[in-house]
Amino acid sequence: MRRVVAVYDTLARAVVPIEPADGRALTMYSCGPTVYRYAHIGNLRTFLMADLIRRAFEYQGIEVRQIQNITDVGHMTDELTDSGRDRMELAVEDEQRSAQEIADFYTQAFLDDTAAFNIRRAADYPKASEYIAQMIELNGRLLERGHAYEVGGTVYYDVTSFPAYGRLSGNTLEQLQADHRKEIGDSNKRHHADFVLWMNAGPHRLITFDSPWGKGYPGWHIECSAMSMAAFGERFDLHTGGEDNVFPHHEDEIAQSEGAVGHQVVAHWVHGAHLLSEGRKMAKSAQNYYELRDLKEHGHTEPLAARLLFLQSRYRAQMNFTLDALTAAERTLERWRRLIANWAGEPQGGSDVDEYEKRFLEAMNDDLDTPAIMALVSEVSSNDKVSRADRAALLLRWDRFLGLDLGRDVGRTVEVPSMVLELIEQREKARAKKDYSTADRVRHKILSLGFEVEDTPEGPKPRPRAR
């Protein structure tokens, strides 16, 4: 029987079951990176949330078609510095490369980082610069339907034309302050909450496109409306992003998409919580801002240890990242991999693990309860009533959802240092003489070298130590 994945829907304000509208493949659009810089670990946690949703469906045999956008053109206020300069254009100056070269470089860096984090590749990564025509067409439809107006080459969305504005975020027009947007050309707005769909470029803008309203560039929000509907049509199942996307980005996206087609476009919205770092918001000035490459510089060379650390908290709960916690996660991941490598080659024991699988599915389908699953993994790994081979098989199956590469060391030949082999021989001689005190001291020396010895009917067998 197919089980249903339930997650917290921001629009419904409740945990609700998510099912493909067509009964076959789930359609999921995920907000991706703006590629003028490397992704930081908070971004990766948000991308991981979408990956876990996808894996939960695929674990149960349900196909997922995921699209994740690449924002490779500057898009106004949300990426302006305090000085009012567009970050992409500043990157052009700082790196002495073209905007296209910068976008290509950081797009590849994003793909490399997500691969290192074992996030499954999306079916497609549409780039905003390749969908300008669709954005212009969508703006035209909004103008025709009375949801937008143009002033001096800039097209604005008229929020008063969309009565449902604020439904996602709770930010109704009555609640919004007059200065909540700081976009260029505010004096041309009919209502202070109106937002830009297309911006007149002005004389000094580096990245511009031709449009019916003159040279300009798209607003951020219109990009995702255009790309998601180009991929899926006028209806799709699920849209994901970080909680910082709820307002204004996703609120405005709903107004644009539904304003253009006259009906609900996205069935469900799911958002991941912010990641704190060392107890505070991440900032380079606070020296608590980490990218994957920064973790390597701190001696943490296994990216999936951070994935394991993130799995210890639920995706929609705020989490505090620390380097000490990452170190502990590295040790846990190393231990699990070694245990599985040691157990996987043993004969199957025929243990009954159905109850464990049932508990795993219940936790996974209950709003991606990864803390409960982590506790379950620990319970299984230490349960001697289940054969070691069956424990290994169960954990490897669950890893299709967890994505921790728990089977990395299965079948891998490990060279045992000659010093360890000599110590094993010393231990055997001491045991033969019933000098167990010496044998125990030698065993501790072997452990200190990263190996342990299993006494079998065929003799002692060394293996990497499972810490």
pLDDT at 151 over 60: yes
Closest by CA position to 237, among listed 57, 442, 13, 446: 57
Q: Return all residues near 430 (Cβ < 8 A) that are at least 6 apart.
A: 436, 438, 439, 442
User: What pLDDT was estimated at residue 180?
Assistant: 58
Is domain 5-272 given the CATH code 3.30.750.24 in the classification?
no
The pLDDT of 32-36, averaged and rounded, is 92
Q: In Å, how far are 438, 446, 463 from 441, measured between CA atoms?
A: 5, 9, 18
pLDDT band at 175 (very low <50, low <70, confident <90, very high): confident
Amino acid letter, 81: T
* Structural domain boundaries in the chain: 5-272, 276-402, 418-464
Residues paired with 71 in a beta bridge: 34
Backbone angles phi, psi at 276, to 5 degrees: -85, 160
pLDDT band at 91 (very low <50, low <70, confident <90, very high): low
pLDDT at 82 over 50: no
User: What pLDDT was estimated at residue 417?
Assistant: 87
User: What pLDDT was estimated at residue 449?
Assistant: 85
The pLDDT of 252-281, averaged and rounded, is 97
Task: Return the higher-pLDDT residue of 30 and 78.
Answer: 30
CB atoms within 10 A of CB 344: 19
- pLDDT (tens digit, 9 = 90+) per residue, 374-411? 999 999 999 999 999 999 999 999 999 999 999 998 87
Tell me the torsion sign for CA atoms 240, 243, 244, 250: positive
pTM, 2 dp: 0.88
Give the rounded percent of residues in the chain with a pLDDT score beyond 90.
70
Pairing of strands 14-18, 195-200: unpaired
pLDDT at 296 over 60: yes
Given a contact cutoff of 8 angstroms between Cβ atoms, the answer to whether 139 and 148 are in contact is yes
User: What pLDDT was estimated at residue 170?
Assistant: 94
User: What pLDDT was estimated at residue 184?
Assistant: 47
Q: What is the mean pLDDT of the chain?
A: 90
pLDDT at 84 over 50: no
pLDDT band at 182 (very low <50, low <70, confident <90, very high): low
pLDDT band at 114 (very low <50, low <70, confident <90, very high): very high
Q: Which two tokens stand for residue 119?
A: 């996030």
pLDDT at 50 over 60: yes
User: What pLDDT was estimated at residue 2?
Assistant: 55
Amino acid letter, 212: P
pLDDT band at 96 (very low <50, low <70, confident <90, very high): low
The pLDDT of 124-146, averaged and rounded, is 97
